Amino acid sequence: MKYNRDKVLTVMTANNAKVGQKGWFADNPKEMGEICYTQSPKTLKEINDWRWMRRFSTGEDSFAFFYPAQEPTYAERQAQWVKENNVKAGTKVRVTRTFAEDEDGSCCWGHDDLVGMTGVVGYYGIAHHSLGVDMSDGSFIAIPYFALEVIKKPTYRPINKDGLLACPFCGEFPKGISEGSEYKHDCKISIFYVEHSCKVIQTTEFAYSEQQAIDDWNWRT
């Protein structure tokens, strides 16, 4: 970035700045020309009306001059979001908000009817100014990155109301815990087992308590 002294804001042009902007702060233009090459930009926290000579505040100190950093383009911000979220063809996403036509530099039609819907990023879905998403209703829609969230795989395995894990092979929960009985030394005792049937994992062996049956199933899965 080449330093452009004409873009430095002063006490007279402070209203052209926006709180939240990043940029460089200094008390004279010469110093600014050096700082913008040697220091990282800071955030403008406040524009002081009561300190007419030092109107630009970082929250820690106030300065007379502010040089706004160049705002990243939509394409640059989307590329950063794609990188941070490891988005690629096939990534599952959810629409989180409405968006207007061409909002914030994107190239998308406006939509207020997609919030909550899910889809996957299409094979050629990552363009410079939008993400093409194969929606769950079969449509293909260009959506800005800021209206999407990546649906991440859960880092835990859900447990049903009986305390049982789902079968890792078919993905279904067992039917439940069944109780039976058997005779041992002429005494009738209760036995418990977990009912399930898929191609890989079957019903558990008998246990002598409901908790033992749960533990046996969860250990097997």
Please provide residue 29's backbone torsions phi and psi, each rounded to the nearest 5 degrees.
-60, -35
Render pLDDT for 8-37 as a digit per residue (tens, 0 to 9). 998 889 889 989 999 999 998 888 888 888
DSSP one-letter string for 114-150: -TT-EEEEEEEEE-SS-EEEEETTS-EEEE-GGGEEE
Q: What is the mean predicted confidence (pLDDT) over 156-163?
A: 80
Give the pLDDT band of residue 126 (cuts 50, 70, 90). Answer: very high
Give the pLDDT band of residue 147 (cuts 50, 70, 90). Answer: very high
Q: Rounded to whole angstroms, how far apart are CA atoms 183 and 186?
A: 6
